[in-house]
Structure 1
């Protein structure tokens, strides 16, 4: 396999890169440590409905995402935003029409962002994307050793994982200090967050003239939106409790969140049909210990010069955080895949 390309990481960047290499006729093998593909894209399914526990949106002006959904014939739906927003004070006072978290203009994908993952994966050659293959070490000659003790050598290795996750892989020889430091210094977007979705038999808040948007000073959900899909209704919220404080408190966070939805949207909101909850700070393939510190703003992402591949290097770092534009977003993940594909194709003989 010495002439082929290894892609480490089966999130959107890794899958999009695999798609690009397949179209170019380049041999590759993708390795994902989790037992599923998608990375930070995670879509729960309940009957005909879908609920994104990772990213939910893309936006107009993001051409790569628009082209992808069009290519696979996926339907795009606007984030529901009709009606009043709610604002909850620290004293449990609920104020109507004073919300500040509306995502009006945001776009969702019918079937969830997981539909994009499934479409990309199904277009790849059979057996070219392996799950449950955690990379343990990478050598400068392109040899990858796995946690299950297997090893393979590749002509090129693209690390399509967050920089901090890449930094935890053993390299032989060790990465230069300035490279390791640069990788560790790049926060993983949304890695410190947790997201909860409560599912109901109908979007009853709409009957009350509410959009489903709410913001709160009390919590535990700091920001809430309508997540309704094909049937019934759903609300999702970002947990505002820091990762260190909510660690090991899954049940308590869920209970307090459902109680909060009751304060905001009434008694019916306290009886969801199902609740889905993902704490991304506990996802080993996404977050490291440093990501538990909450981000106060969207970082100025991009590739530091020290992470430009050295001449003759077989290793390339690629993730949304390193993208030349839209860093942290799904569009950025696709931009990172484009950049990585350019590197691979430019390095291949002929």
Structure 2
């Protein structure tokens, strides 16, 4: 007989973890399953000692009340993105121009220890054993049965699919989704799924001594947008890659070396010797991106639920992700708004 719980949550990113927090607070038993070997989804933080460096989302903003309340409830320290000093502009020919433009992320907020501290804080507050990693769900039925890649199954009265819509579309549904619902899921771009991010860590933020903010806009690359990612006493610079997915595929080490070379060109010889380099290509993450996500977004989509996805998928299945959030879609705040919506659906029925 398959294991059972009143609620099953599929996806251990911020939305799934926040749904779990809501249910635990309400005394509703649940199980959370994530295909990765870690929780967090698109939140991924690498550490050197106690310093965290984000390879997924790095910021939230004033005016995002759910994020503000969550970090406060978890007892986490928040600080402003460093934006003091000059911005650099790199031309297509490799020229470096100082004081052209403005710090685009000025006023944004970061979390001490990285966004992974939020994941750890939420997970620590859940019942032991309720989140399970390394459990890949491949099918879901309106009878409330999840099927796993290892052949196992799990039954639940209600199921929350806390995953990007395009990942949801790749599941086997019983009964099969209508063509309208399937098309709607596949048409919603996964936020940041086509991007790659590189972080170079240094003993100190030496660029600040030269009156630089760490911000760079580049027409040359490989990183097209660079920001200060310093944590603790360590300095760090991170950038978003502008190299097309097909060109960087499987070339992580080479791309990381090219990023360090670019930082050296921009900031001088001190940038040539980072103490660590972290690199993630989200387009290669099977549980984040599908082939259609390989073209990075050039603007922030107008996220929200299309008409065909406004009703639950049958009596037992609810979709929840930042792309479907009632507000702030694509942001961490949107992930929490989606969790609020999913929790209301579970608790009201």
TM exceeding 0.5: yes
Among residues 178, 181, 184, which one is paired with 1:179 in the alignment? 181
Cα distance, 1:48 vs structure 2: 2.4
Q: Where does residue 347 of structure 2 map in the other structure?
A: 345
Cα distance, 1:251 vs structure 2: 1.9
Distance 2:250 2:19 in 1: 36
Cα distance, 1:95 vs structure 2: 0.2
**Aligned residue-pair number:** 347
Distance 1:138 1:32 in 2: 14
| 2:32 is the alignment partner of 1:30 | yes
Q: Which runs of 5+ in 1 are unaligned?
A: none
| 2:50 is the alignment partner of 1:48 | yes
| 2:298 is the alignment partner of 1:332 | no
Distance 1:3 1:269 in 2: 52
Question: Does the aligned pair in 2 maintain the 1:41–1:53 contact within 8 Å?
Answer: yes
- Report the secondary structure of 1:155's partner residue: strand
Q: Where does residue 109 of structure 2 map in the other structure?
A: 107
Cα distance, 1:248 vs structure 2: 1.6
Cα distance, 1:308 vs structure 2: 2.1
Among residues 88, 91, 101, which one is paired with 2:90 in the alignment? 88
Cα distance, 1:166 vs structure 2: 0.6
Q: Where does residue 155 of structure 2 map in the other structure?
A: 153
Q: Where does residue 320 of structure 1 map in the other structure?
A: 322
Per-residue deviation, residues 73-123 of structure 1 (Å, max 9, x unmatched): 111010001110000000100000013453100000011100000000000
- Report the secondary structure of 1:154's partner residue: strand
| 2:86 is the alignment partner of 1:79 | no
Cα distance, 1:139 vs structure 2: 1.0
Runs of 4+ aligned structure 1 residues displaced above 6 Å come to none
Q: Cα 1:227–1:258, aligned 2, differ >3 Å: closer, same or farther?
A: same
- Report the secondary structure of 2:75's partner residue: coil
Q: Cα 1:176–1:101, aligned 2, differ >3 Å: closer, same or farther?
A: farther
- Report the secondary structure of 1:98's partner residue: coil
Per-residue deviation, residues 176-201 of structure 1 (Å, max 9, x unmatched): 11001000000000000000000111
Q: Where does residue 67 of structure 1 map in the other structure?
A: 69
After TM superposition, the score normalised by the length of structure 1 is 0.97
Distance 1:196 1:87 in 2: 18
After TM superposition, the score normalised by the length of structure 2 is 0.97
Per-residue deviation, residues 210-233 of structure 1 (Å, max 9, x unmatched): 010011000000000111101221
Distance 1:170 1:89 in 2: 48
- RMSD over aligned CA atoms reads 1.1
Question: Does the aligned pair in 2 maintain the 1:101–1:215 contact within 8 Å?
Answer: no
Q: Where does residue 311 of structure 2 map in the other structure?
A: 309
| 2:138 is the alignment partner of 1:136 | yes
Question: Does the aligned pair in 1 maintain the 2:142–2:314 contact within 8 Å?
Answer: no
Among residues 244, 251, 254, which one is paired with 1:252 in the alignment? 254
Q: Where does residue 213 of structure 2 map in the other structure?
A: 211
Q: Cα 1:312–1:167, aligned 2, differ >3 Å: closer, same or farther?
A: closer
Q: How does 1:287-298 map to 2 (within 5 A)?
A: 287-298=289-300
